[in-house]
Amino acid sequence: MAQVAPVDEHLAEIQRAAVRIRGHVRRTPLLKTDLAPGLMVKPESLQVTGSFKARGAFNAVLSLVEREPDVAGVVTHSSGNHGQALAYAARAAGLRATIVVPEGVTPAKIAGIRSYGATVVTEGVTYDNREAIAEAIARTEGLRLIHPYDDWDVIHGAGTTGLEITEDVRSPGALVVPIGGGGQISGIALAIAGLSPESALIGVEPEAADDAAQSLRTGILQTLPSDPETLAEGVKSKSVGERNFGVIVGDALVREIVTVSEDDLTDALRVAWMRLKLAIEPTGALALAAYITGRVPAGTTEHPTVIVLSGGNFDPATVAALLSA
């Protein structure tokens, strides 16, 4: 029997994830826009819990229950969206969940986590120590740590976005995806490599959080020296995960990573709300910012550029101020 290529193995896992999470998550639409005939948007802001994170969280939780039916619960660290998604998935599976969240995260995201019945730990938590705190809780309370992005079940769940895109558009010219820890773009990269390898996969980061762009340029995993200052709090991780680095750089499945300024991000947020009529958070506007500033291909009607709007869990006061400025 011929050896199965690694991409094929990952694609099979993504396809199994799509079956596993069906009924728990939404199949989000792929929408045409009036911005340009060669542009389509995938609004994961319409996903359950308000972001793409539900895909990976459900795949991880349901896979865990399959392996360990008697597992007591789960723990993770998160800037908000993964925390909400994991809390929701854990509740659906009848598990307890503890979410470690840095102080200063958008209150609406913390309220969302609590609304799904999870315990939230914030006191003394920073972006630097959140992972260590989550690991300690896992050890002392007997919970399973589900990493927000450096976890194959999470990555394969996120890859179901790529499956849906290729079902709706046979051959996208380019797919443009935000990068934080790298879970979403890694999953989509593995799906696209198996189903539409001619499509260009392009990542987008804020200029202040360009660790993935540095990593791709140097071929070495780069870590930011301090917490980045950016409106896009969902991508404030200081480096991509090791598994994610392997997909993005090691396997060379991401063609390019571009950066956008905070002003670009604010402009894109306004375009999303006022022109596209889509309520997204600043992080969700990263790919749109790259498009409207000409940093990614324009696309054609036959081979459109598809941009992923990754989430819609915003702070109302912050968005109101940005829209009215």
The structure tokens 């905070």 sit at 262
Domain-terminating residue out of 123, 145, 167: 145
Give residue 77's domain range. 54-145
DSSP one-letter code for 46: G
Q: Are residues 87 and 111 in the same domain?
A: yes
Active site residue 79: yes
Q: Are residues 121 and 223 in the same domain?
A: no
**Residue tagged active-site, from 51, 63, 78, 79:** 79
Q: Are residues 196 and 308 in the same domain?
A: yes
**Residue tagged active-site, from 53, 78, 199, 215:** 53
Backbone angles phi, psi at 207, to 5 degrees: -55, -35
Query: Residues 6-62: pLDDT tens digits?
Result: 899 999 999 999 999 999 999 999 999 999 999 999 999 999 999 999 999 999 999
Q: Are residues 68 and 190 in the same domain?
A: no
The tens place of each residue's pLDDT in the chain, 325 residues long, gives: 343 458 999 999 999 999 999 999 999 999 999 999 999 999 999 999 999 999 999 999 999 999 999 999 999 999 889 999 999 999 999 999 999 999 988 888 899 999 999 999 999 999 889 999 999 999 999 999 999 999 999 999 999 999 999 999 989 999 999 999 999 999 999 999 999 999 999 999 999 999 999 999 999 999 998 888 999 988 988 899 999 999 999 999 999 999 999 999 999 999 999 999 999 999 999 999 999 999 999 999 999 999 999 999 998 888 999 988 8
Beta-bridge mates of residue 203:
177, 257
Number of domains within the chain: 2
Domain-terminating residue out of 145, 162, 181: 145
Q: Are residues 295 and 195 in the same domain?
A: yes
Domain-terminating residue out of 92, 120, 145: 145
Residue 126, judged by CB atoms within 10 A of its CB (0-12, 13-18, 19+), counts as exposed
Beta-bridge mates of residue 98:
75, 119
CA 263 to chain CA mean position, Å? 22
Active site residue 53: yes
